[in-house]
Amino acid sequence: MKKKRYFTLSFLVICLLGFGTINVSAEEIKIGAPLALTGMFSSDGVHYLKGIQLAVDDINSSGGVLGKKLKIVKFDTQEFAPERTMLAADQLVGREKVDIILAGWGGWGQDVRAYGKYDVPVFLNDSSILALEVFRENPKKYSNVFQLCPIEKQIAYDCFDNLMRVPYDYPNKKIAFIMADDAFGDAMAAGYKERASENGWQIVMDEKVPYGTTEWGPLLTKIRRAKPSLIMMEIISVPENATFIEQFIRNPTNTLVYQGYALNLIDYQVNLKEKAEGVLGIRVLLPVPQYPNEESKKWADRFRKKFGEEPFGVSLFTYEPLMLWAEAVKAVGNEKDYSKVSDYIRNARYNLFGGGVIYFDKENQVPEFGDSMFTSQIQNGTVTTLVAQSKQYKNNKFQLPPWIKK
């Protein structure tokens, strides 16, 4: 009887040490992915998810984190309604017990409140003064929330300054603004207008439009009367941008059209193609088909192999922070020690494989994009980078839009 007990106890000890069927190192670490997988923002959400999936593949193929494999737990946040965002936080952190949240663009501050009541590290891409103001209410409470973008006004400054570097002789200094009637549109407009005034531009139109606007006749009449040299739009939705350019080119003026972040939306690129030829906008991170170094080319090859398409800029906004988090967990030695993991992230200077560095200021925010925001143009149906510090883009030339009369 004693021998039997001894054998049973010994077997359990061996198992617990990892030599039997019970293997602690085989545990999984859950990665929370609350993203807009359906609805008007799903173009970004789906590609945020692909960045997470590729990072998980790369990490798992290298042995995981602390010997544990990563597993993605998804939640469809749809269109970021506050109650939906709160439900995502409670489901993923409260019930699923994920150890990190990668939410991409998750709202305008309600996401900070939702995830800040927990302590797992959270990466967001809100680019919003509203989100920053929530953080400022209680920096200690929200110390686990990290913003991977500067606020809108700083982005607007950078975008306008880069646009002014495009070699084009404007026939006049008249500018028209058409912005979405939301917090992002308001803040971007403030930055654009400030920079325009500083550069001697006359604002001849300053319009806010609701999402769902697809009939542009009245505004186009004003544009044709004022004849501005530049139209700047910032509406993060494809139908509004698509219908505007389609109706504008039926009877165009000698005006450059800049549609901002919309050029990053994959549906814009797929559906418009030649209709948007010559349109200017923003391109975020690693513009394709050119890449700054061999590492980024290999990353793009892996992306194509897995998903059967070209990489999308926002995929890096989830891929890179997941890699940073994995580095932090390995340094701390425990994925559950959230405070120490967040401290590591807060003090890190993480080198991006495509060039540049992620680092956070005292408000847990990336204070500047650096060489990551590019003025680009639709050329032959492809988003082509025009203005950037990186040498690989020096041969890309601005092309006169087909509606401009010389």
Residue 61, domain member (yes or no):
yes
258, 307: one domain: no
pLDDT at 341: 98
328, 274: one domain: no
Q: Higher pLDDT residue, 39 or 289?
A: 39
265, 389: one domain: yes
Residue 401, domain member (yes or no):
no
Residue 230, domain member (yes or no):
yes
266, 386: one domain: yes
328, 223: one domain: no
- If you average pLDDT over every residue of the chain, what do you get? 86
Domain span at 206: 153-287+372-393
- In total, how many domains does the chain have? 2
168, 71: one domain: no
180, 134: one domain: no
Q: Are 131 and 105 in contact (CB under 8 A)?
A: no
Helix (H) or strand (E) holding 216: none
Helices (H) and strands (E) in the chain, counts: 13, 14
300, 270: one domain: no
Residue 121, domain member (yes or no):
yes
299, 164: one domain: no
Residue 6, domain member (yes or no):
no
Quick one: which of 166, 170, 403, 163 has its CA closest to 274? Answer: 403
Which regions of 55-148 does DSSP assign to beta strands (E)? 69-76, 100-104, 122-124, 145-147
Quick one: which of 356, 350, 297, 338 has its CA closest to 116? Answer: 338
pLDDT at 288: 46
270, 179: one domain: yes
Residue 195, domain member (yes or no):
yes
Average pLDDT value for residue range 14-43? 68
Average pLDDT value for residue range 65-82? 94
250, 379: one domain: yes
Quote the CA–CA distance of 203 and 173 in Å, as a whole number.
9
Is the pLDDT at 72 greater than 70? The verdict is: yes
Q: Which two tokens stand for residue 76?
A: 């469809």
Q: Higher pLDDT residue, 377 or 154?
A: 377
- Say which DSSP state 352 is in: P
Is the pLDDT at 285 greater than 70? The verdict is: no
Is the pLDDT at 224 greater than 80? The verdict is: yes
pLDDT at 265: 76
Quote the CA–CA distance of 42 and 364 in Å, as a whole number.
26
pLDDT at 289: 46
Percentage above 70 pLDDT, the chain = 87
pLDDT at 25: 41
Task: State the CATH number of the domain containing residue 185.
Answer: 3.40.50.2300
pTM for this entry: 0.79
pLDDT at 388: 63
| Residue 2 banded pLDDT, cuts 50, 70, 90 | very low
Residue 245, domain member (yes or no):
yes
Is the pLDDT at 334 greater than 90? The verdict is: yes
Please, which residues bridge with residue 178 across strands? 207, 233
Which range has the worst mean pLDDT, 64-68, 110-114, 157-161, 281-285? 281-285
Residue 403, domain member (yes or no):
no
167, 102: one domain: no
pLDDT per position as a tens digit, 394-404: 678 899 999 99
Quote the CA–CA distance of 195 and 149 in Å, as a whole number.
20
Q: Residue 7 phi/psi, 5° resolution?
A: -65, -45
Average pLDDT value for residue range 287-300? 72
